[in-house]
Amino acid sequence: MSPGQKWTVLPALALALVMFAVPVALIFREALFDPAFTLTHFERFFGRPVFQSVFRNTLMVATIVATACLLIGYPMALFIVTRPPRWRPLLLFLVLVPLWMSILVRTYAWMVVLGREGMLNHALLTLGLIETPLQMLYTSGAVYVAMVQILLPIMVITCYSAMTEIDMGLVRAARVMGAGPVRAFRHVFLPLSLEGALTGWAVIFILSLGFFIVPALVGGRRDALIGNMIVNQVAQTNWGFAAAMAIVLLAATIILLALLRLLASKFLHSPRQEST
Partner 1 sequence: MTGITKRHLMAGALALPLAAGGAFAAQADTLTVAGSGGGLAQVMDMLYDQPFTEATGIQINALATTDRASALQAMMRSGNTIWDVAELSPVDYAIASTNGWLVPIDWSRADPDGLLPDEARLEDAAVVATYSTILAVRSDRLPEGQAMQSWADFWDVETFPGPRGLQNSVMDNLEFALLADGVERADIYDLLATDEGVDRAFAMLDEIKPHITAWWTAGAQPVQMLADGEVAFTSAWNGRITQLQAEGVPADMIWQGGALKPSYMAIIRGTDMEDAAHEYLRMLLTDAERAAQFAELVAYPAMLPQLYDHLSAEAGANLPTHPDNMDVQFVTNALFWAEHMDRLRERWDEWMLE
Site for partner 1 in 236-255 (CB under 8 A): 236-239
Q: Which of residues 116 and 172 has its CB atom nearest to partner 1 in the complex?
A: 116
Per-position x/- string for 150-169, each x denoting binding to partner 1 as judged by CB under 8 A, each - no binding: --------------------
Please calculate the CA angle 155-63-143 and round it to the nearest 5 degrees: 85
Q: How far apart are CA 188 and CA 74, in angstroms?
A: 16
Burial 113-125 (b: 16+ CB within 10 A, else e): bbbeebebbeeee
**What string of DSSP letters covers 144-186?**
HHHHHHHHHHHHHHHHHHHHHTS-HHHHHHHHHTT--HHHHII
220 binds partner 1 (CB under 8 A): yes
Site for partner 1 in 107-136 (CB under 8 A): 111, 115-118, 135
The one among 49, 85, 128, 178 contacting partner 1 by CB under 8 A:
49
CB of 268 to partner 1, least distance (A): 38
Q: Residues 213, 66: contact at Cβ < 8 Å?
A: no
| CA nearest neighbour of 227 among 106, 143, 112 | 143
> Applying CB under 8 A, which part among 45-53, 74-82, 166-174, 254-262 lies near partner 1?
45-53
> Applying CB under 8 A, which part among 167-175, 189-197, 220-228, 265-273 lies near partner 1?
220-228
137 binds partner 1 (CB under 8 A): yes
216 binds partner 1 (CB under 8 A): yes
| CA nearest neighbour of 1 among 20, 10, 16 | 10
Instruction: Please measure the distance between the N-terminal and C-terminal CA atoms of the chain and give it in whole angstroms.
Output: 42
The one among 45, 74, 110, 138 contacting partner 1 by CB under 8 A:
138
38 binds partner 1 (CB under 8 A): no
CB of 239 to partner 1, least distance (A): 7
| CA nearest neighbour of 91 among 72, 106, 76 | 76
Tell me which residues touch partner 1 (CB under 8 A): 48-50, 53-54, 111, 115-118, 135, 137-138, 216-217, 220-222, 224, 229, 232, 234-239
